[in-house]
A = this chain, B = another copy of it.
Amino acid sequence: MAQKPSIPKGTRDFSPEEVAKRNYIFGKIQEQFKGFGFQPIETPSFENSSTLMGKYGDEGDRLIFKILNSGDFLKKADEKILVEKDSLKLTPAISEKALRYDLTVPFARYVVQHQNEIEFPFKRYQIQPVWRADRPQKGRFREFYQCDADVVGSNSLWQEVEFIQLYDAVFSGLNLEGVTIKINNRKVLSGFAEVIGEKDRLIDFTVALDKLDKIGEEGVKKEMREKGISEEAISKIQPIFSLEGNFAEKVAGIKSILQTSETGLKGIEELQFIQDAIEAMPLKTAKLDLDVTLARGLNYYTGAIFEVAAPATVKMGSIGGGGRYDDLTGIFGLKNMSGIGISFGLDRIYLVLEELGLFPETVTQNTKVLFINFGDKESLYTMKTVRELRNAGIIAELYPDNAKMGKQMKYADKRQIPFVVLAGEAEMENGEFTLKHMKSGEQQTLDLEKLKRALA
């Protein structure tokens, strides 16, 4: 029985046009990754489950796709667990491997495993798909690409400066002007919690603050109160709700709050260093902005936190993010390796470029000329020509079958091939070709050299 074909929910087929557009974005990102001295690595699609499990919290563990062991996987399974139908307990017995959930943990694993082959600081980039058993929804998929660049083995703030320039270079390269690179610092957030006497409630505090965009000042304060943060504490950080002006002015604004926190002042010093460097080396098209509400899964980050917002004219979540994490490889036994990295959100960047019409017309490398098939004798003549054109870098094809002319012309039209060549007996005798421009209908008869020039 023939099956009605479909694909799993949350996954996608990509058509030639979509692949070409995606490759255009990958290419621009890769070009800058390379230009900035990052080196590519690749890791396997699946890792040992022990490498991934427990690294992304309980929610993450649930969303990791597990691979069933091959062969008689139930043989060694505990009968009691089977009878009790305990899926959670059975999983480790029947599944030893799992699909990559992100690129960061595999990178950490790579660094530790290959530490003796690596020169530190190690600047690597990685562009590969990841898989999450998330509920699919608009713009959220179960298979999607991540594009990451990270440096491990240096805590120099010049890295932060470099990554901001890297973001700017990529988005400028994509002609996507007007993106905002938002920056914050974990130490500043810690400082806030410290000065209001809520050091232990750092997470609650920042989770609430992170929602300022969505629920507004009153909403944030309400949530803070619900989490047990006192009215007095909240009033102490009142100034952060009304930060205005440029980077320097905002820094001045939070500096007054953080006077008594050593950690907070250290964060400000770092922000200041970065800001000064960027001011001395202005960005091409992006804008750097301080956003003290930015937290992004705070647990990971120990210093700078980045997030990139699309131009204000486009409604879209963040199109990139990252930050500094001081103990990336500790989970695999290699201590004191400071890391910092950023990521590009391919799918969202794609949507933004599509909406703003920023894909170049030449992005799909389409066939330039189709040779009409008049039969085998003529086809040998045209195939020789097709070959000459290809050697000259012109994408050319022969329609493979001696079908009716109308069908062949329609094929060229549907595939948006701009030119067709008609070469029947008459042309063959004279060593010529009739070149037809599909849009205008214009025709001219040319010899091979002129044909090449006309199509070049």
The answer to whether B13 and A110 have CB atoms under 8 Å apart is yes
Contact with B along A71-109 (1 / 0, CB 8 A): 111110101001101111011001111010000000001
Other-chain contact of A8, B15, B97, B331 (Cβ < 8 Å) = B97
Q: How far is the CA of A43 from the CA of B16 in the complex (A)?
A: 11
**CB of A239 within 8 A of chain B?**
no
The answer to whether B119 and A411 have CB atoms under 8 Å apart is yes
**CB of A210 within 8 A of chain B?**
no
The answer to whether B41 and A15 have CB atoms under 8 Å apart is yes
Other-chain contact of A113, B6, B20, B51, B85 (Cβ < 8 Å) = B6
**CB neighbors of B among A215-265 (8 A):** none
Interface of A is mostly: mixed
Closest to A390 in B: B35
Q: How far is the CA of A156 from the CA of B158 in the complex (A)?
A: 60
Other-chain contact of A158, B67, B384, B400 (Cβ < 8 Å) = B400
**CB of A365 within 8 A of chain B?**
yes
Q: Contacts A37-B395, A82-B82 given: A67-B70 contact, CB under 8 Å? A: no
Other-chain contact of A400, B99, B159, B331, B395 (Cβ < 8 Å) = B159
Closest to A414 in B: B119
Q: How far is the CA of A3 from the CA of B52 in the complex (A)?
A: 11
**With a CB–CB cut-off of 8 A, which chain B residues contact A114?**
13, 15
The answer to whether A7 and B43 have CB atoms under 8 Å apart is yes
> Copies per complex?
2
Q: Contacts A85-B75, A365-B34 given: A48-B400 contact, CB under 8 Å? A: no
Q: Contacts A14-B42, A124-B16, A367-B37 given: A68-B67 contact, CB under 8 Å? A: yes
**With a CB–CB cut-off of 8 A, which chain B residues contact A129?**
45
The answer to whether A415 and B19 have CB atoms under 8 Å apart is no
User: Shortest beta-carbon distance, A250 to chain B, in Å?
Assistant: 22
**CB neighbors of B among A403-430 (8 A):** 411, 414-415
Other-chain contact of A121, B16, B34, B97, B400 (Cβ < 8 Å) = B400
Q: How far is the CA of A94 from the CA of B50 in the complex (A)?
A: 21
**CB of A198 within 8 A of chain B?**
no
**With a CB–CB cut-off of 8 A, which chain B residues contact A23?**
40
Q: Contacts A68-B94, A94-B68 given: A16-B36 contact, CB under 8 Å? A: no
The answer to whether A12 and B44 have CB atoms under 8 Å apart is yes
**CB of A66 within 8 A of chain B?**
yes
**With a CB–CB cut-off of 8 A, which chain B residues contact A50?**
3
**CB of A333 within 8 A of chain B?**
yes
The answer to whether B47 and A7 have CB atoms under 8 Å apart is yes
Closest to A394 in B: B35
Q: How far is the CA of A156 from the CA of B376 in the complex (A)?
A: 10
**CB of A302 within 8 A of chain B?**
no
Q: How far is the CA of A281 from the CA of B390 in the complex (A)?
A: 13
**CB of A65 within 8 A of chain B?**
yes
**CB neighbors of B among A271-322 (8 A):** 273, 277, 280-281
Q: Contacts A13-B113, A35-B395 given: A3-B156 contact, CB under 8 Å? A: no
**CB neighbors of B among A53-76 (8 A):** 62-63, 65-68, 70-75
**CB of A353 within 8 A of chain B?**
no
The answer to whether B75 and A65 have CB atoms under 8 Å apart is no
- Contacts A74-B90, A119-B414, A154-B401 known; list 4 others, CB within 8 Å: A35-B390, A36-B395, A82-B83, A151-B400
Residues of A within 8 A of B (CB): 2-8, 11-16, 19-20, 23, 34-37, 39-48, 50-51, 62-63, 65-68, 70-75, 77, 79, 82-83, 85-88, 90-91, 94-97, 99, 109-110, 112-114, 117, 119, 121, 123-124, 129, 131, 133, 143, 151, 154-156, 158-159, 161, 165, 169, 273, 277, 280-281, 330-333, 365, 367, 373, 376, 379-380, 383-384, 387, 390, 393, 395-398, 400-402, 411, 414-415
In the complex, 28 of the A-B residue pairs with CB atoms within 8 angstroms, ordered by the A residue number, are A3-B332, A3-B333, A5-B332, A7-B44, A7-B113, A8-B97, A11-B46, A13-B42, A13-B44, A14-B41, A15-B41, A19-B39, A34-B395, A37-B367, A46-B131, A65-B67, A67-B99, A68-B68, A68-B95, A72-B87, A73-B87, A75-B87, A119-B414, A156-B373, A156-B402, A158-B373, A158-B379, A273-B376
